[in-house]
C-alpha cells in the first residue's frame, strides 16, 4: 500500500460509520463544555458554531484533552462522550468579528466553566465527524437560533482579549506561562479573540491547533537552544490509546525527527511516515501534518522544564484498533511520556537496542524512513 499519510488516515476515518452519536431533535437545551468549532471548507467564508452536550451542568471533560490520559479514559470512553457533542453551524466571513454569532462563540471560548446553551436547528442534527487533526464530534446542523447563559471569563484570557496591541504569538506565550490550558488558548485563537486588533480573524479549528503548537514550540526553542546539552542518551516511554511512544533524547544540539508507524489498522498494512529538522525549525509545513508540531511542542516543553538542550528522535507505533482522535493524542501522550523517569544509555546503539526491544516492527523499517535516525548511527560509529 503506497499513499500519503493524509490519504491513509482519511481511509481509516471513512470507516468510522459504525459509531452512533447522540440523538437529538431540532431544539436543544444543554451545556457547552465550553467548546466551539470553526470549519475550513469555503474559506474565507466558513461554517462556525458551538458544540453542545444535550444535558446541563459541568461538561468540561468533553473538551479538555489534557485530562483524558491522566484520568485513564479509554479510546472508547473518549469517542463515546465526544459523540455526545452536537455541532451547530452558521456561515460567516472570517473577518466578520462583529457578527452576533461570532461574539457568542468568543464568549464561550473565553469561559472559565461550562456554558448554558440553547439552540434551534433548521433540521434534525445528523452524522458524526472523525478526523486525523481534530477530536471527533457528533451530529451537526445549521442553526436558526442560538443563545447562551451568563459567562464568567477565564481571567488571563480576558486580559489577553482586551489587549488589542499584543501580537497573537506573544499572547499565546504569556497565556502558556500563566498556566492556561493549551485547549483554552487554541479556542481563543480560533474565534479571533487574540492578537493585534486589526489583524484578528476567525481561524479554522484544525489550523488554530497547529498554529498554537507551532508558536509555543518556537517560543520554547528560543530558550532551549541556549541551554547546556544533556550528558547521555535518555529514553522516555508511554503507552495509551492503542499507541506506544518512545522519545530518544540525544546529547547533541537541537535536532528533531518524528517517525510513526501504523500497523494492521485496516488489514495487514504497515505504514511508516517521517519528517525531521536539523538545528533550526522547518520553514515549510510538515509532510506528516499537525502531529509533527504537537510532538515537538511536548518535547521542547519538557526540555525547558529541565533547563537542558538535546536532540529528539521520537518513534510512535499505532496498533490494531487505533482510531484517529486528533493531534491531541500525540501531544498529550508525548507530554505524559516526558513526565516519566527515563532510562539512560551511554551509547546511541544501546539506546536504539532498548527501543527496538519494545517495538513491534524491526528498527530497520524505521531506519529506511528516518534521516536523523540513520545519520546518527553512521556519524557515531566510533563511539558505539
Q: Which residues pair with 177 in a beta bridge?
A: none
Q: 34-61 burial, b for 16+ CB within 10 Å, e for fewer?
A: bbbbbbeeeeeebbbbbbbbbeeeebbb
Q: 333-363 burial, b for 16+ CB within 10 Å, e for fewer?
A: bbbbbbeeebeebeebbebbebbeeebeeeb
- Quote the CA–CA distance of 208 and 211 in Å, as a whole number: 5
pLDDT of residue 189: 98
Question: Given a cut of 50, is residue 383 above it in pLDDT?
Answer: no
- Quote the CA–CA distance of 348 and 383 in Å, as a whole number: 8
pLDDT of residue 2: 64
Averaged pLDDT, 339-359: 98
Q: Which residue has the higher pLDDT, 197 or 382?
A: 197
Task: Please give the grid coordinates belonging to residue 360.
Answer: 513491534
Question: Given a cut of 80, is residue 367 above it in pLDDT?
Answer: yes
User: CB–CB of 41/47 below 8 Å?
Assistant: yes
Q: Per residue in 161-200, pLDDT tens?
A: 999 999 999 999 999 999 999 999 999 999 999 999 999 9
Q: Per residue in 31-68, pLDDT tens?
A: 999 999 999 999 999 999 999 999 999 999 999 999 99
What is the per-residue DSSP string for 212-234?
HHHHHHHHHHHHHTTSPBPSSEE
Supply the mean pLDDT for the chain.
96
Q: How many CA atoms lie within 13 A of 140 on its CB side?
A: 20
Q: 200-229 burial, b for 16+ CB within 10 Å, e for fewer?
A: bebbbbbbbbbbbbbbbbbbbbeebeeeee
The C-alpha angle 183, 315, 383, rounded to 5 degrees, equals 130
- In 3D space, the residue among 192, 183, 156, 173 whose CA is nearest the CA of residue 62 turns out to be 183
- Name the pTM for this structure: 0.96
Task: Give the contacts of 170 (CB within 8 A, at least 6 positions apart).
Answer: none
Compute and round to an integer the Cα radius of gyration of the chain: 21
- Where are the domains positioned within the chain? 20-215, 233-383
Q: Per residue in 371-380, pLDDT tens?
A: 999 999 988 6
- Quote the CA–CA distance of 107 and 23 in Å, as a whole number: 27
First to last CA, the chain: 35
Amino acid at each position: 500500500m503506497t499513499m500519503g499519510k493524509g490519504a491513509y488516515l482519511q481511509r481509516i476515518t471513512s470507516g468510522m460509520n459504525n459509531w452512533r452519536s447522540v440523538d437529538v431533535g431540532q431544539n436543544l437545551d444543554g451545556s457547552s463544555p465550553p467548546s466551539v468549532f470553526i470549519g475550513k471548507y469555503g474559506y474565507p467564508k466558513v461554517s462556525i458554531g458551538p458544540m453542545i452536550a444535550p444535558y446541563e451542568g459541568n461538561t468540561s471533560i468533553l473538551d479538555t484533552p489534557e485530562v483524558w490520559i491522566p484520568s485513564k479514559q479509554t479510546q472508547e470512553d473518549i469517542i463515546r462522550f465526544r459523540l455526545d457533542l452536537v455541532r451547530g453551524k452558521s456561515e460567516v466571513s472570517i473577518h466578520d468579528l462583529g457578527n452576533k454569532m461570532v461574539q457568542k462563540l468568543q464568549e464561550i471560548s473565553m469561559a472559565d466553566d461550562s456554558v448554558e446553551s440553547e439552540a434551534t436547528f433548521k433540521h434534525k442534527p445528523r452524522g458524526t465527524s472523525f478526523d486525523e487533526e481534530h477530536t471527533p464530534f457528533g451530529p451537526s446542523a445549521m442553526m436558526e437560533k442560538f443563545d447562551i447563559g451568563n459567562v464568567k471569563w477565564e481571567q488571563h484570557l480576558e486580559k489577553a482579549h482586551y489587549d488589542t496591541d499584543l501580537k497573537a504569538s506573544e499572547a499565546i506565550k504569556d497565556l502558556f506561562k500563566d498556566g492556561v490550558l493549551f485547549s483554552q488558548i487554541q479556542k481563543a485563537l480560533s474565534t479571533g479573540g487574540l492578537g493585534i486588533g486589526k489583524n484578528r480573524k476567525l481561524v479554522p479549528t484544525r489550523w488554530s491547533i497547529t498554529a498554537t503548537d507551532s508558536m509555543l514550540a518556537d517560543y520554547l526553542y528560543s530558550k532551549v537552544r541556549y541551554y547546556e546539552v544533556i550528558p547521555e542518551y535518555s529514553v522516555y516511554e508511554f503507552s495509551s490509546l492503542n499507541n506506544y511512544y518512545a522519545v530518544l533524547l540525544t546529547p547533541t544540539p537541537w535536532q528533531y525527527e518524528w517517525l510513526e508507524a501504523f500497523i494492521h489498522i485496516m488489514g495487514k498494512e504497515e505504514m511508516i511516515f517521517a519528517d525531521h529538522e536539523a538545528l533550526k525549525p522547518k520553514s515549510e509545513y510538515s509532510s506528516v501534518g499537525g502531529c509533527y508540531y504537537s510532538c515537538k511542542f511536548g518535547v521542547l516543553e519538557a526540555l525547558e522544564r529541565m533547563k537542558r538542550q538535546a536532540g529528539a528522535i521520537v518513534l510512535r507505533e499505532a496498533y490494531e484498533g487505533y482510531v484517529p482522535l486528533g493531534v491531541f493524542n500525540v501531544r498529550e501522550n508525548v507530554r505524559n511520556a516526558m513526565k516519566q523517569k527515563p532510562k539512560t544509555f551511554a551509547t546511541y546503539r544501546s539506546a536504539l537496542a532498548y527501543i527496538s526491544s519494545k517495538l513491534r516492527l524491526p528498527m530497520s523499517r524505521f531506519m529506511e524512513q528516518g534521516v536523523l535516525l540513520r545519520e546518527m548511527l553512521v556519524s557515531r560509529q566510533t563511539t558505539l
